[in-house]
Amino acid sequence: MQNVTEKPLLKVGNVKITNLRAIFGAKSYELSNITSASLQAQEPNLFLPVFFTIILAVCSALVAISDLGEYGQCLRVGLYAGIAGMLFLLLSRKAKYTVLIQNPVSELVVLETDDRDYAERVVIALNDAIAKEEFEMLDRKPLRHDDQSR
């Protein structure tokens, strides 16, 4: 049997992918147990924050148009709530990207990040390493010859 040396293919942050293993932080996965890797994007649902921010803005505008002296406190509360809604909207806009690895039995989440390029690099490196590992396994298998002599 041939001795295979481990060669690094990607090392970024706490992710290291070699021709034999994928290491995510303290967890290590053998490539021979991984069938594929995929990227999943989770876009934030912004309907409710946008809806409430628009409603508060409209209410604040209506209060400002009416008698300002009598409803001044309501206007301040509406403006503060509108600002808070806008801040929430701006802070929650980022999409989350999840790297999943599949094996014949299950699917595991191995990495979650806000950086799409980082997640894509990890998925590409994982799939390349899996393909290389499968090719090397086929290359190492001895060929069987059915020699039938007469």
Q: For residue 132, what pLDDT is reported? A: 83
Structure tokens at 115: 């950086």
pLDDT, average across residues 115-127: 92
Torsion of CA 101, 104, 107, 111, to 10 degrees: -20
Q: Of residues 45 and 144, which shows the higher confidence score?
A: 45
Q: For residue 149, what pLDDT is reported? A: 47
Q: Of residues 112 and 1, which shows the higher confidence score?
A: 112
Q: For residue 8, what pLDDT is reported? A: 85
Structure tokens at 37: 């890797």
Q: Report residue 139's pLDDT band, with 50, 70 and 90 as the boundaries.
A: low
CA atoms within 13 A on the CB side of 35: 7
Answer yes or no: is pLDDT of 4 > 80: no
Q: For residue 52, what pLDDT is reported? A: 74
| Per-residue pLDDT tens digits for 63-105 | 666 766 666 666 677 777 777 777 777 777 778 899 999 988 8
Contact 120, 12 (CB under 8 A): no
Taking the model in full, what pTM does it have? 0.65
Contact 101, 110 (CB under 8 A): yes
Q: Report residue 150's pLDDT band, with 50, 70 and 90 as the boundaries.
A: very low
| Per-residue pLDDT tens digits for 22-67 | 989 889 888 888 889 999 998 877 767 777 777 777 777 676 667 6
**Cα 136 to Cα 29, 116, 143, distances in angstroms:** 18, 30, 14
CB neighbour class for 82 (10 Å; exposed up to 12, middle 13-18, buried from 19): buried
Nearest to 100, CA basis, from 81, 113, 82, 90? 113
